[in-house]
Structure 1
Amino acid sequence: MTDAIDRAAGLTPDDALYHTRRLRPVFVDGAEQCRQSVLLPQDGLGLSAALRLALARRIAALNDDAALVADFDAQLAQQQPDAALQALAAGETPADALLAALARHTDRVTLTPAHAQASDIRLLEQAGLSNPQIVALSELVAFVNFQTRIAAGLRLMRSV
């Protein structure tokens, strides 16, 4: 079965690389389970699916991954996001304090992770996020950045 990473990398069951990925099914299955748990968890902890997908789309755009941007655009559209979440997804700095804090943190960890500090977590707390929400946000940011790098690596391998 084709997963999100296959789609992002442009892999189909006709590709040798598709089958090579399946030599390690635990990684394929684990990545898909992780994707589901960070984007559409059973307990969203007050972070809606639309918010999570808007942030994921933002991360994909920051990583210049057109395939993932398109995928997240389609998923986000199904959630019927409001204008503020659409702006967040598009890379804009939201007027809403919480969304602005989420955007700032997501951008920092995505673009300059070495510069992230404990004070960045304090800013999220000051914006109103709980510890479980901060952990969920961290998992989301980490996974989508991981997904973009794996897809980019697979595309590179396909081009050789």
Structure 2
Amino acid sequence: MMDAMDKVAGLSPEDSVFKARRFRPEFVQGGEQCRLSVLQPAQDQGLAVDLRLALARRMAALNADQVLMDDYDAQLLALDPSEQLLALAQGETKLDEPLAAIARHVDLVTLTPRAAQASDIERLVQAGLNNPQIVALSELIAFVNFQTRVATGLRLMRSL
């Protein structure tokens, strides 16, 4: 069975890389469960699915991953997002709060994670996010950046 990572990496069941991933089925299953838990959680903590997808699309663009950008665009557009969320997804920085603070944080952690400091979390609090929302946002940032790196690696392996 194909998962989302196979899809964005361009794998098919006939590929040797697809088969190699199945040597560790717990990693395949765990990755898919993680994806679902951060993008479509049972309890969204006030960070709706359309916001999460807009942020995922933004991170895919920051990582220059066109395949993921297209995938997240399709998922986001299926939810009929607001103009603000479309702007967020497209990399806009002139946004209303709390989206502006969220966008700044996503960009910072995606592009220069070593530069992130405790004061960056405080900016999220000042913008109105609570602790569960900050944790959920951090999980989303971690997953999408992980996803872009794994997908890139799998594509490279497939091309060998």
Structure 1 stretches of 5 or more lacking a match? Answer: none
Q: How far apart in 1 are the matches of 2:4 and 2:102?
A: 24
Q: How far apart in 2 are the matches of 1:45 and 1:37?
A: 12
Other-structure match for 1:130 = 130
Instruction: Spell out the pairing of 1:2-13 with structure 2 (5 A cutoff).
Output: 2-13=2-13
Structure 2 stretches of 5 or more lacking a match? Answer: none
Q: How far apart in 2 are the matches of 1:48 and 1:106?
A: 16
Counterpart residue identity of residue 4, structure 2: A
Counterpart residue identity of residue 93, structure 1: T
Q: Is the 8 A contact 2:60 2:148 kept in 1?
A: yes
Q: Is the 8 A contact 1:58 1:89 kept in 2?
A: yes
Identity %: 64
Q: Is the 8 A contact 2:88 2:95 kept in 1?
A: no
Q: How far apart in 2 are the matches of 1:125 and 1:97?
A: 11
Q: Is the 8 A contact 1:68 1:148 kept in 2?
A: yes
Counterpart residue identity of residue 131, structure 2: N
| 1:42-91 per-position Cα deviation (integer Å, ceiling 9, x unaligned) | 11011100000000000001000011101100110111100000000000
Q: Is the 8 A contact 1:21 1:28 kept in 2?
A: yes
Q: How far apart in 2 are the matches of 1:13 and 1:159?
A: 15
Q: TM-score when scaled to structure 2?
A: 0.99
Q: How far is the alpha carbon of 1:159 from its aligned partner?
A: 1.4
Instruction: Count how many residue pairs are aligned between Structure 1 and Structure 2.
Output: 160
Q: How far is the alpha carbon of 1:94 from its aligned partner?
A: 3.5
Instruction: Spell out the pairing of 1:53-132 with structure 2 (5 A cutoff).
Output: 53-132=53-132
Q: TM-score when scaled to structure 1?
A: 0.99
For the aligned residue pairs, the C-alpha RMSD in angstroms reads: 0.6
Instruction: Spell out the pairing of 1:18-33 with structure 2 (5 A cutoff).
Output: 18-33=18-33
